[in-house]
Chain A
Amino acid sequence: MTPLLDIQGLSASYGRAQVLFDISLQLHPGEVVALIGRNGAGKTTTLKAILGLVIARAERLAFKGQSIAGLPTYRIARLGLGYVAEDRRIFTDLTVEENLEVGRQAQRAGRSPWSRERLFGLFPNLAEMRGRRGSQMSGGEQQMLAIARTLMGNPDAILLDEPSEGIAPVIVQAMAEVIRAMKAEGVAVLLSEQNWAFAAAIGDRACVIERGTIRFAGPMADFLADEALRAETLGV
């Protein structure tokens, strides 16, 4: 099976400091891959490099078999690659409904489109605050809105950057449910996480990144079995 997202030999630098070294990873349709690593390991940079938000070089950077290297970010997004940023980046001046409107894109063939109403079904608390401005929402609510907003673009895959960061444990549970629901809809997820337990609960496969290189890639069960790897790369 050809991967949905195929990354080979990805490197990126900020100025003279190289932060990613020869990253390779694949995301297949409908699967959840967890990119696990400590703070500063290169998770966010990897996701941003895929979308062209940081300048990067790659031997191969392809989505649905089409090279996306060097494409403008909006073209990559329109191919069906969604992005939920680490700090959520809600438009705080805009209401919930307006935030969703910004994310709206035309539906893709062979997939039932996400509508506002369908999303409100998945995120019932957002339905109750349609007219509320982003600035008046809690962190967890903003995180839900950020995901819903990206789903409005009817993506085939989502790059989800640290969804569990800085939100209440009960919301983290809800977040796991949301990711499973997305998976059930056939949306592939590349999840960046430092909370490995959370990642393990929802990920099919794990990629461990440390200092800008991939240290491990394999089924989640293998990652869970390898305590030495966890101790070395995550300090747990």
Chain B
Amino acid sequence: MDLSFVAIQALNGLASASSLFITACGLTLVFGVTRIVNFAHGSLYMVGAFTAATLVPWMLELWFGPVSFWLGIVISALIVGLLGVVIEVLLLRRIYGAPELFQLLATFGIVLVLQDLVVQIFGPQDILGPRAPGLRAPVEILGRRFPSYELVLIAAGPAVLAAVWFVLRKTRFGTLIRAATQDREMVAALGVNQALLFTGTLFLGAFLAGLGGALQIPRVAANTGMDLSIIAECFVVTVVGGMGSVPGAFLAALIIGQLQAFGILIFPKSTLVVVFLLMAVVLAIRPYGFFGRPEILGGTHAVGIASRKPMARGTLLATIGIVLLACLPLIGDPYLLKVATEILVFALFAFSLQLLIGVGGLVSFGHAAFFGLGAYGSALTVKWLGAPMEAAFPAGLLLAALGAALIGAFVVRLSGIYLAMMTLAAAQILYAIAFQWVEVTGGDNGIVGVWPSNWVAGRSAYYLLTLALTVITVLFLKKIIESPFGYALRAARDSEPRAEAIGIAVRQQRWLAFILAGAGAGIAGSLYAFSRGSVDPSLLGIPTSVDALTMLLLGGIQTIAGPLAGSAVLHILRDQIMPLTSLWRLFLGLSIIGMVLVFPRGLVGTIRQWGEDRA
């Protein structure tokens, strides 16, 4: 490894740090003022890339030269900025007071909507933009060729930092933004129109996301997967730098850029692992990142499970329900059984998440991690050890529980929005590992041939096995929710300091909850793997996590039966609507947004509110 190689790698790291910072800076600014983590920020980045990759060639047709190129980049970013304004006015403005779970879900709804809209507008193909006029020839650095466009990118990061610094420190708008970051109510009491301030902030944030995306076009083809990959990276940058801190984001991006550039030498496949380690170290020392502060947290959490009188004859009704479900194979329709098996699997998956969110108040946005670990744990045992299903199930459960113990160990130090972002980032890292470690996991194709043992090979038998395992796990988790341990979790959910003051070891309890919830999701994942006969990385993906959250939201997070009902409703809806339209994600996204807007406090919270208004 000679000096020139090190220098080139360092420059590569700086170039990616710049791109990352420009995008993440917008996210952190928007969070600082609105306290909303805008999941759609990555989508704005993607729209910026697609817009620029379409607009810039057209502008170069008109007049070839650097001015057209750069003007095209800026216009693309401005268009994305306006899109940010539209999002603020139509949606965000209505959910500033909502619990963070709903804010995240609603902005994820935008992610889904924009995914379909981008395909509709720009087409499904990747679009590689033109190279910048005047920057086509590489420059020579220490005897090695280095793309000159990358040098411009390296300069762009600090330039944006300086510009943002100027706006924040030297303009009235910036002063107001910084004041609002600290105390929104007082800013309003001094006569400042917050709505305008927030809209302006969204414009600025979206503009930066669009700029970040537009600047990528000569390097990376605009593609429909870039929204979720950049948002995970941005989450890491903002969390490590400290939510709401622009210099923090810059520092974090610089470090992560270098880690990625040199991490390639250690882990050629997955540089994200190095990033993950950095994140673990930083958050272990500083739970709020470099320049973050504990008081700058997200909004409130949603109303969770509360004590209620047991329903009269509840046990009887539940028993009848289980018996009826057990009789389903008598109908003998294989398709129905397949759907019923999947509904049960996802009900179990959502139910295990309920333990974290409804009981623990821990908004995990990466629950797919444990579902996927369960599935992969089983599939890998089958593939590499030739083990039968009976041995693969415990292996899946164990891997999921271990994963939950590892991830849980440091996310329980966090709360609110930090926890949501970290769990999401952890799941994305597992996704990347499953995707990139082709020799072991089969990469994108996954692992096939994961079939159940002979005695449950039939659809009916496997359905009954799924039912039995689901019922046992749900009853076990229900018992836990209603035990002193469950009460301790709820106490910590409602007030962490008070729970600690009465002697509850909040972190340990939460850690245990993570392991239990992870194990539950792991069982669901194993069941799913054997029901399909295969696993693939999408099981670990963000959409899978969001499926579980949507089921919770649909069914209501305040009740134990909620996730079970939610799973059935979402599955049936999807089965009915997906064949009818190619715009399924658009439909789902709008539905999620609609749910959040109509029931910003959750179903039961809304009903309770009505009761109080009437009283």
Contacts and interface: CB of A to CB of B under 8 A. Distances in A.
Contacts of B172: 101, 104
Contacts of B191: 74, 77-78, 103, 105, 153
A102 B179 contact: yes
A53 B172 CA distance: 24
B192 A51 contact: no
B140 interface: no
Contact of B186 (A15, A89, A98, A104): A89
B565 interface: no
B188 A74 contact: yes
Nearest to B185: A53
A43 to B, nearest CB: 16
B9 interface: no
A142 interface: no
Contacts of A153: 190-191
Nearest to B196: A74
Contact of B175 (A73, A83, A94, A150): A94
Contacts of A73: 185, 188-189
A91 interface: yes
Contact of B178 (A72, A89, A91): A91
A69 interface: no
Residue picked from B175, B178, B186, most chain A C-beta under 10 Å: B186
Interface in A36-68: 51, 53
A14 to B, nearest CB: 11
Contacts of A78: 191
Nearest to A98: B175
A177 interface: no
Nearest to B190: A103
B319 interface: no
Contacts of B193: 72, 74
Contacts of B179: 91, 94, 98-99, 102
Contacts of B183: 89, 91
B320 to A, nearest CB: 38
B194 interface: yes
Nearest to B193: A74
A114 to B, nearest CB: 13
Contacts of B187: 102
B186 A16 contact: no
Contacts of A136: none
A72 B179 CA distance: 18
B182 interface: yes
B189 A102 contact: no
Residue picked from A15, A72, A73, A83, most chain B C-beta under 10 Å: A73
Contact of B189 (A83, A94, A101): A83
Given A98-B175, A102-B176, A93 B182 contact: yes
B190 A77 contact: yes
Interface string B151-179: 00000000000000000000010011011
B612 interface: yes
Contacts of B186: 85, 89, 91
A156 B552 CA distance: 51
A6 B439 CA distance: 77
Contact of A93 (B178, B188, B189, B192): B178
Contact of A51 (B176, B182, B189, B615): B189
Given A91-B179, A91-B182, A91-B183, A53 B189 contact: yes
Interface string A1-35: 00000000000000110000000000000000000
A150 B190 contact: yes
Contact of A102 (B190, B612, B615): B190
A92 interface: yes
A118 B178 CA distance: 25
A118 to B, nearest CB: 18
Interface string B591-615: 0000000000000000000001001
Interface string A97-115: 0110111110000000000
Given A53-B185, A91-B182, A74 B175 contact: no
B244 to A, nearest CB: 11
A72 B185 CA distance: 11
A53 B183 CA distance: 13
A205 interface: no
Given A16-B615, A101-B172, A102-B175, A92 B190 contact: no
Interface in B165-223: 172, 175-176, 178-179, 181-183, 185-194
Nearest to A153: B191
A53 B178 CA distance: 21
A173 to B, nearest CB: 26
A101 B183 CA distance: 15
A58 B39 CA distance: 41
A71 to B, nearest CB: 11
A16 B609 CA distance: 11
A153 B187 CA distance: 12
B182 A102 contact: no
Nearest to A159: B189
B612 A74 contact: no
B366 to A, nearest CB: 32
B178 A77 contact: no
Nearest to A15: B612
A34 B186 CA distance: 22
Residue picked from A83, A101, A102, most chain B C-beta under 10 Å: A102
B182 A92 contact: yes
B395 to A, nearest CB: 50
27 contacts: A16-B612, A53-B185, A72-B188, A74-B188, A74-B189, A74-B190, A74-B191, A74-B194, A77-B191, A78-B191, A83-B189, A83-B190, A89-B186, A91-B179, A91-B186, A93-B178, A94-B175, A94-B179, A99-B179, A101-B172, A102-B176, A102-B179, A102-B192, A103-B190, A149-B190, A150-B190, A153-B191
Given A53-B185, A91-B183, 15 more contacts: A53-B189, A73-B188, A74-B188, A74-B193, A83-B189, A83-B190, A85-B186, A89-B183, A91-B182, A92-B182, A94-B179, A98-B179, A102-B179, A104-B172, A149-B190
Closest 9 A/B residue pairs (Cβ): A77-B191, A73-B188, A89-B186, A78-B191, A83-B189, A91-B179, A102-B179, A74-B188, A103-B190
Interface of B: 172, 175-176, 178-179, 181-183, 185-194, 612, 615
